[in-house]
Amino acid sequence: MNRTALRRIAAPGAAALALGLALTACGAGNESGSTSGSGLSGTLKGAGSSAQEAAMDAWRAGFQKANSGVTVNYDPSGSGAGVEQFNAGAIDFAGSDAALDPTKGEVDAAKKRCGANALEVPDYVSPIAVVYNLDGVDKLNLSAKTVGEIFDGKITKWDDAAIKAENPDAKLPSTAITPVHRSDESGTTKNFTDYLAQAAEGGWPHPADKVWPISSGEAANGTSGVIAAVKSGAGSIGYADESQVGDLSVAAIKVGDAYVAPSADGAAKALEVSPVDDTRTKGDLAVKVDRTTTEAGAYPLMLTSYLIACPTYSGAKADLVKGLLKYIVSTQGQQDAAKNAGSAPLPSSLQQKAETIIDSISAK
């Protein structure tokens, strides 16, 4: 179906991708809790999730407006690159569309960098859209199993019987399907493959991972690369944060007995009914998203982005990191992101827990 959600699309230019870019002090108001009029000064460096880039633009502008002596730089290089840079000590904080993975050594590497367990809190909630480019097909319903078989290379034509069964009124051509996936290490990929692993009923035989697990299809770098590849390729299908899909057509996915279009409210509902991961250390607020929920109004193909930081920093850096992160998860910060990126505000219970964790940041 055509994308109908009213979103402000932040289309990054080449300059906006540079780590050294600082937003001018425009945008959000200064009702930012403890950050307003605090007199903070200095520079913060962050990197990571490209999905939350539009939200981060709003957060940087709002925080800098409230603290005229502060510059916040953020490089939307992808979740994997952000985690790597954070663990290497090259940046002050990271944004990642997937929680640190203990099986890949990310938790231990972050602990080594910080000298203690890293802090990790959710900050951004958004649906992942299944986008496609198919002339004459404005509405499309797809179950998780069908999506999994498409991206696994088992379904190769748009008029395949499985797609026709879910779309009896659509005029599906025999066009070849070109699945497009992220070439970089991506938290969006981790969430997408987690959804397929949980919900595809055997249609996707691979575990959740930031790295695309098979060689079929077309690879593209970053969220913008996937969008560009799908736009330019007739018969293409891909996945991306819904805030950046532009005018591409978007499929509705099957949730229970209904087909549901991506929405910020649906993503928030899926997060709200999912449990916090109780295997994580104190200060790590990772959520185990229930991709198989049949909760009315939920859209379980979604991502929760995280802020990753150390519990202690040298000198004034501690106040800078704490101030920015508190603003991001505050009611004002969440509203600013919703306006600029169309994301959903954090559920109040998670917001309160995140604020408590951020409050524990201190100077060495």
Q: What is the DSSP string of 116-176?
A: SPPEEEEEEEEEEEEEE--TT----EE-HHHHHHHHTTS--BTT-HHHHHH-TTS----PB
Determine the Cα–Cα distance for residues 210 and 191; give it in Å rounded to an integer: 8
Determine the Cα–Cα distance for residues 349 and 329; give it in Å rounded to an integer: 12
Ligand-binding site membership of 349 (annotated): no
Number of residues assigned to the chain: 364
Ligand-binding site membership of 217 (annotated): no
Q: Is 193 helix (H, G, I), strand (E, B) or coil?
A: helix
Ligand-binding site membership of 188 (annotated): yes
Q: 317-329 and 348-359 are packed helices; what angle lies between their axes, rounded to 10 degrees?
A: 170
Please return the burial class of 362, using the count of CB atoms within 10 Å of its CB with bins 0-12, 13-18 and 19+: exposed
Ligand-binding site membership of 97 (annotated): yes
Determine the Cα–Cα distance for residues 116 and 287; give it in Å rounded to an integer: 21
Ligand-binding site membership of 51 (annotated): yes
Q: Rounded to whole angstroms, what are the CA distances from 1 to 139, 141, 228, 323, 329?
A: 4, 8, 19, 41, 32
Q: Annotated binding site for phosphate, which residues?
A: 49-51, 79, 97, 186-188
Q: Annotated binding site, which residues?
A: 49-51, 79, 97, 186-188
